Amino acid sequence: MNLDFLLVVFLSIPALWALRFGLSALRPALCLTFFLLFLAPWPQAALADIYGYRDKDGFLRFLPAGNDRKSGEQSASTGKGDPGGTVEGIIHRASMLYNVEPPLLKAMIKVESDFDHMAVSRKGAMGLMQLMPETARDMDVSDPFDPAENITGGTRYLSLLLERFKHDLRLTLAAYNAGPERVASCGGVPPILETRAYVSRVMRVYERYKGKEVARRGDTAITAYKVREH
């Protein structure tokens, strides 16, 4: 466990204790903190089992050792274990079912949730592909935090957007982020800073994943989407 995080956790005990029980309780809280930090028999193995990091929104997260922020992405790229149960396997099945490129799905998952299947946005979007509750219902997703359901539902929704916007990738991504009706009403990528940044970022990550896929397969047999400036 990172020592900085351990100190933050334990040094917050006296402050919280004093706020709850008053300054008279500060001394016992300090004694307890001193004991936990320096006298308690912490097994080294237990400390090594957990580590912390600060995510992109500034929140502290604690994970088991060997499971970092890229664990989902690593699983997707290596396909270890049961091929049908990994993120890679789920993406492959959804790709075949709805005729959507795997590199595009990986890029969207990377940008939407950074491969965190428990991710929840401030607006309430959930899971790997950040499905809004109404979208999850429309796509028959009962558990948006289940990777298979989320990716399958998200891919189905993405395929409908691709069809509606005639496989124009920029319009499709804008619709996924800002809503299809808003894109249709303005006839292009809406002049929303967040949406324009989202489209650009997904496109960059998509090109990176597509390059890796081409290098792996040794050919260029990947579906081409329309890419226009809007």
d(CA 189, CA 169): 11
Residues 6+ positions from 142 with CB-CB distance below 8 Å: 149
Q: CB–CB of 68/57 below 8 Å?
A: no
Sole residue written with tokens 């809280």: 29
Q: Is 229 a catalytic residue?
A: no
Catalytic-role residue among 101, 112, 163, 207: 112
Instruction: Using alpha carbons, list the distances in angstroms from residue 159 to 98, 109, 132, 202.
Output: 6, 15, 16, 16
Cα-Cα-Cα-Cα torsion 142, 143, 146, 148, nearest 10 degrees, comes to: 10
Residues 6+ positions from 176 with CB-CB distance below 8 Å: 108, 157, 158, 161
d(CA 206, CA 102): 9
Q: CB–CB of 148/122 below 8 Å?
A: no
- Torsion sign across C-alpha atoms 222, 223, 228, 230: negative
Sole residue written with tokens 């399958």: 152
Task: List residues with catalytic annotation.
Answer: 112
